[in-house]
Amino acid sequence: MEKTGTEVVCRWFEDVWAQGEKALICPPQDASYVISGNGASVPISSEEFRRAHRNLKEGMADIRLDFEFCASNGDQVSCAMVVKARDKVSGAPVAFRSKLDGRVRDGQLVRASNDIDYLVAE
């Protein structure tokens, strides 16, 4: 049975935060990423996404994902969550929102646009 777009994206998020580099290889090479914030959108390559994610993740411990919603309509998927963690150096709580609008094809995430709000903190 083929997974729904919602299942694919939720699982991808969980893998990216729990497994790191191994999971980031999953999206095909033609996947594209856009980081948005403060009214600007910047397209980045898969390699740039991997590097940014690795740097962010290396500074955090006890990472948890709290999904606010995840919905799909055909091959289009939207998902929002709050990432909660602890800063590895200070031990201070860290929290930020992430929203993804993407497209799933053949059970894989092939396009992703991320809007990450790093200003939200606990």
CA angle (101 as vertex; 61, 57 as ends), nearest 5: 15
Residue 25 pLDDT:
46
pLDDT, tens only, 75-94: 899 999 898 999 999 999 98
Q: Is the pLDDT of residue 18 over 80?
A: no
Specify the amino acid at residue 36: S
Distance, in Å, from the CA atom of 45 to the CA atom of 48, rounded to the nearest integer, reads: 5
Confidence of residue 23 (pLDDT cuts 50, 70, 90): low
Task: Write down all domains in the chain, each with its CATH number in brackets.
Answer: 5-117 (3.10.450.50)
Query: Alpha-carbon torsion 31, 21, 78, 2, what sign?
Result: positive
Six-digit token pair at 106? 């053949």
Residue 85 pLDDT:
93
pLDDT, tens only, 31-82: 567 776 667 777 877 778 778 878 888 899 999 989 899 888 888 999 998 9
Distance, in Å, from the CA atom of 115 to the CA atom of 35, rounded to the nearest integer, reads: 6
